[in-house]
Amino acid sequence: MRFLLIVSVMMTMMIPFATVQSAPDHENQKTMILEVEGDPAERAKIIVSHHPYIEVVDVYDLLLQAVAVKGPQEKMARIASHDFIKTIHPVTTYNHPHGDLAASQAELPVKASLPGPVSEQDALINPQVIPGDLNTTPFTGKGVKVGVIDTGIDFNHPDLADNYKGGYDLVDLDDEPMETQVSEGIPTIHGTHVAGIIAGDGALKGVAPDAELYAYRALGPGGQGTSVQVIAALEEAVRDGMDVVNLSLGNAINGPDYPTSQAVNRATEKGTMIVIANGNDGPGDWTVGSPATAVNALSVGATAPKTMMPELYVPVLDQDIALQPMRGSVPWALSKDFPFAELTDPSRNVTDHIVLTKRGQTPFYELAQEAEAKGAKALLVMNKEDGSFQGSVAGEKPISIPAAGISKKAGEALIKAMADRDHLYLETVYSTTEKHMAAFSSRGPVTVSWNIKPEISAPGANIWSTVPGGYKELQGTSMAAPHVAGALAVLKEAHPDWSNKKLTNALTTTANPLADPTGKRLTPIEQGAGDIQLDQARTTDTIIHEGFLTYGKFADYSQKETIDLTIENVSDESLTYTFVMPKKEAGVVWDLPKTFTVPPHETATISIGMTVTSMRQDSGLHQGYLQLKEGSETFHIPYLYMNQTADYPKAMGIGVTLKPFSADAYTYQYYMTEDVKDLKIDLYNPHTLIHERVLLEDRDVKQGLNKGEMNKKEIGPPGEYKGMIIMELADGTIETIETDIFIPPSH
C-alpha cells in the first residue's frame, strides 16, 4: 500500500489465497487494516480460512505488522473475535493534513498556463516562485526514484506524465493513485502540486525534472487518512526501492516517539531518505508535529521570497495601516493617492475610491463584486474583532480590483477621520522585506528529546506548480519539503557514490542562516541550519555530520555536557578548520577544539563541550550558531539547550473515537511529554463555557502515548466540547491546557 507523508515507502505483498470467495455484489464492501500479533502472513491465512467472504488485500511486515482486508461490513465484524488482532483501523477516516494551507486555498482558480513575465516591481509586489529556479546545477535527478506519499497524483498531467512510473492507491487499494475526483467526494490537488515541485517537466520545471516519480495515495476525499495508512504507505515505498520520499503531512503531536515518527526512523534505517514538512502552525515555538519530529527525518521549514509589502498611509492621521491581501485577489499595486469612502455610504459616488466595509455575514467575494460594480479602485474589509484575519475573494469570475483586510482599530480610525472632513485621501506606500521565514512555518524544538526542528528551510510561499487541469499558486511547508526532496534527487545523481547521510548532511552543512529585518540572525528552531543552497551542497569540500548540537536540559548548579561532531573532508586536499569563539555570555563556558586539519577524503571527530551555571542564566531555551571557518568558508552549526525548564506543552493529541464494530464502546488517547502524578479532563459547553462533566481522570500517567477504553455511559453525550486538561506534575506544579474535543455519536 502507499500513503501520504514525506517519507519513504514500501510495496505491500499481495497474498493470492485461492480460497477467497467474492461477496455478493449487493453487499456493502468495507476495507480495514488490522494490526496483528505474530506473523502477518500466517494471520492472513487464518482470516481467509475462517471468513470465506473476506478478501486479504495486502500484508505488511516491514514497518507495520498488519493485514489489509475487504468484505461486507456485517461479516467483517466477526474478525474482531480473533485474539491476535490488536487494533482495527478503517482505511479512510476523519483526519485532515494538520495545519495544511493548501486545503484552504483549494478554491483559488486553476490557471490553464503559467503566469508570463512581469515588471520588476510587480514581481516584488506579487512574487511568483517557480520550483526549477532552485536548481542552478547541470544535474536533473535522472535515474533517481522519488516517492510522493500524498493525496495521489494526476499522472495524466502533461508536465508529469513522462516522469510518472507507478505507485499504489491505499484508499481504493489499486494501482492507480489518482487524485480524488469530484464524482468520488471532495476533490484533492495537493499531491499533484507536490509532485510538480519535485519533478515537473513541461511548461513548469521542477527541481529535479528528470527524476522518476512514484505516487502513494494515502489520503482520500478531502485529504482524509490515518497514521496507520501512512505507515503502511512507508512500507510500500521502501519495498519499491524509493531513493527519496516526500511526506507533506503531519499531526499536532510534538514528541519523538509517536508511532509515525518511529516508522519514519525505521524506514530511513532501510535506506530511504525521508523529507517531511515541518507543519503550518507557526510562528509559535513547540509547534512542530509528528512525523517531522522523527530523529532520522529531514524536516523542512518554509521561507517566503523577497517582497514589496503594500501599506496605506493616512496623511491627516500620520498613520500607516497594515494590509492583509485576500486570497484570490489581484496584487495591491496602486501607484497614486485615491479618495476614501465607505462602501455603503449613500451620499457618495465611490468610483475610483478605496472603499471600506465591515466584516459580517456577507461573503467577501460578494462584497468585492459590489465594490467592483460600483467602480471602486480597491476594497478594504475591517475586522469585527481584534487581530488580523485571512479572507478570500476567489470565485467563479475573478475580481479585477485588489481586496485586503485591515484591523478593527485601523478601520475605526478611518471612519472617524472621514466623519470630520469632506475628503480623505489614502496613499499606498511599499516596504521591501528580504527573504524570510514564513509566519505560518512551524517552529521547534521537539519535546522530550529537545531536538532542533526544522533541520533546513526552503521556498514555501507563492509556489506555482501543477494541479489537475493546469497550475496553481499555493503555500505551506507542504510546498517547501518537495523542494528539498528534489534537491536530494539532484545531489544523488551528482554524487551516486555518496551515502544518504552524506547527501542530507551536505544540504544542512551549506545552508545559509537567514536574519530578521534588523539584521539579527533567526534562531535554529525557526529555520534549522538555514536556507537551502543546492549548488553549494553539490560542490562543497566539507560535510559536517551530527551537526545539530542538542545539549538537553541543564538543572544542576554547574553542569558540563559534551557532544562529538564529525567533520568530513571530501576534497583532494588537506583542509584546516578553526572555530570562532562565541561571544561571552554569563553562566556559559564553551570548550572548543583548537585549529585542526583533516586530510583529503578523511574524517575528524571533535568534542564540543559546554558548561552551564544554571543560577547565572535565565530559565528557558538558549540557542544560536557556532561558526567554523575553513579558508574563506564559514559554516554555521546550530546549538540548543534548556536551562532548568521551559514553557513547553505537557499534553496534546487528545482524541476520542468509536471502537470499530461496536455500538457503545469508545477508545481515547492522549500524548504526554513528561510523567504526571494526576490528570483530569473537564468538558465545557463551547458556547456558554458552562462545565458539563469530567471526561477522564488518570493517576501516575507516563510520558508518551496513553490509550484506553470507555463505554457509552462513561463517555457521555456526543458533540463538540471545550476541554480543560488539568495536570499535577512530578514536582507538584499544577498546569492547565485548553483544547477542542469532539466525541462522535454512536451507531
Average pLDDT over residues 326-335: 86
601: left (phi over 0), alpha (psi -120 to 50) or beta: left
Angle separating helix axes 190-199 and 477-494, nearest 10 degrees: 30
> What's the confidence (pLDDT) of residue 146?
98
More confident of the two residues 556 and 507: 507
- Let me know: does 458 contact 438? Beta carbons within 8 Å: no
318 shares a domain with 217: no
> What's the confidence (pLDDT) of residue 21?
35
325 shares a domain with 293: no
399 shares a domain with 322: yes
427: left (phi over 0), alpha (psi -120 to 50) or beta: beta
Banded pLDDT at 709 (limits 50, 70, 90): confident
- Is the residue at 233 inside a domain? yes
- Is the residue at 670 inside a domain? yes
Query: DSSP E strands: which ranges in 631-718?
Result: 633-643, 651-658, 665-672, 676-684, 691-701, 704-711
- Is the residue at 123 inside a domain? no
Cell numbers at 73, concatenated: 461490513
Pairwise CA distance, residues 738 & 647, whole Å: 15
> What's the confidence (pLDDT) of residue 657?
79
- Is the residue at 531 inside a domain? no
Pairwise CA distance, residues 360 & 17, whole Å: 60
Q: Which of 624, 643, 662 is the last residue of a domain?
A: 643
204 shares a domain with 65: no
Long-range contacts of 331-336 (CB under 8 A, 24+ apart): 331/122, 331/125, 331/126, 331/402, 332/125, 332/378, 332/402, 332/404, 332/428, 333/121, 333/122, 333/125, 333/126, 333/402, 334/310, 334/377, 334/378, 334/402, 334/428, 335/428, 336/427, 336/428
Q: Which domain holds residue 72?
A: 29-90
337 shares a domain with 275: no
Pairwise CA distance, residues 94 & 220, whole Å: 10
Q: Which of 592, 613, 643 is the last residue of a domain?
A: 643
Domain of residue 410, CATH code: 3.50.30.30
Cell numbers at 633, concatenated: 568558508
293 shares a domain with 150: yes
DSSP 543-586: EEES--EEEEEE-SSEEEEEEEEEEEE-SSS-EEEEEEPPPPBT
Paired strand residues for 518: none
- Is the residue at 103 inside a domain? no
206 shares a domain with 339: no
Domain of residue 239, CATH code: 3.40.50.200
Cell numbers at 415, concatenated: 471612519
Q: Which of 580, 610, 643 is the last residue of a domain?
A: 643
Q: Flag whether pLDDT at 177 surpasses 70.
A: yes
Q: How far is CA 490 from CA 261, 483, 493, in A?
A: 26, 11, 5
Report angle CA 368, 370, 376 to the nearest 5 degrees: 75
400 shares a domain with 371: yes
Give percent above pLDDT 70 in the chain: 92
- Is the residue at 11 inside a domain? no
- Is the residue at 20 inside a domain? no
User: pTM value?
Assistant: 0.84
Average pLDDT over residues 84-106: 58
> What's the confidence (pLDDT) of residue 731?
79
Average pLDDT over residues 503-524: 95
CB-neighbour burial class of residue 470 (10 A; exposed 0-12, middle 13-18, buried 19+): middle
Count Cβ neighbours within 10 Å for each residue of 234-268 and write b for 16 or more, e otherwise: bbbbbbbebbbbbbbbbbbbbbbbbbbbbbbbbbb
List pLDDT tens digits, range 553-592: 888 788 999 999 999 999 999 999 999 999 888 899 999 9
Pairwise CA distance, residues 641 & 219, whole Å: 37
Average pLDDT over residues 359-377: 93
**Mean pLDDT, the chain, whole residue set:** 87
- Total number of domains in the chain: 5
407 shares a domain with 381: yes
Banded pLDDT at 22 (limits 50, 70, 90): very low
Average pLDDT over residues 524-547: 97
List pLDDT tens digits, range 725-746: 888 888 788 888 888 888 888 7
DSSP, collapsed to helix, strand or coil, labels residue 712 as: helix
> What's the confidence (pLDDT) of residue 10?
26
List pLDDT tens digits, range 420-450: 888 899 999 988 889 999 988 999 898 878 8
> What's the confidence (pLDDT) of residue 101?
58
- Is the residue at 120 inside a domain? no
Distance spanning both ends of the chain, measured CA to CA: 29
- Let me know: does 376 contact 401? Beta carbons within 8 Å: yes
> What's the confidence (pLDDT) of residue 107?
64
List pLDDT tens digits, range 602-656: 999 999 999 999 888 888 889 999 999 999 999 999 999 988 877 777 777 787 8
Pairwise CA distance, residues 551 & 560, whole Å: 9
Report angle CA 567, 569, 575 to the nearest 5 degrees: 100
> What's the confidence (pLDDT) of residue 92?
43
709 shares a domain with 560: no
List pLDDT tens digits, range 247-303: 998 776 766 656 778 888 999 999 999 999 998 888 888 888 878 888 898 999 999
216 shares a domain with 240: yes
Domain of residue 48, CATH code: 3.30.70.80
364 shares a domain with 346: yes
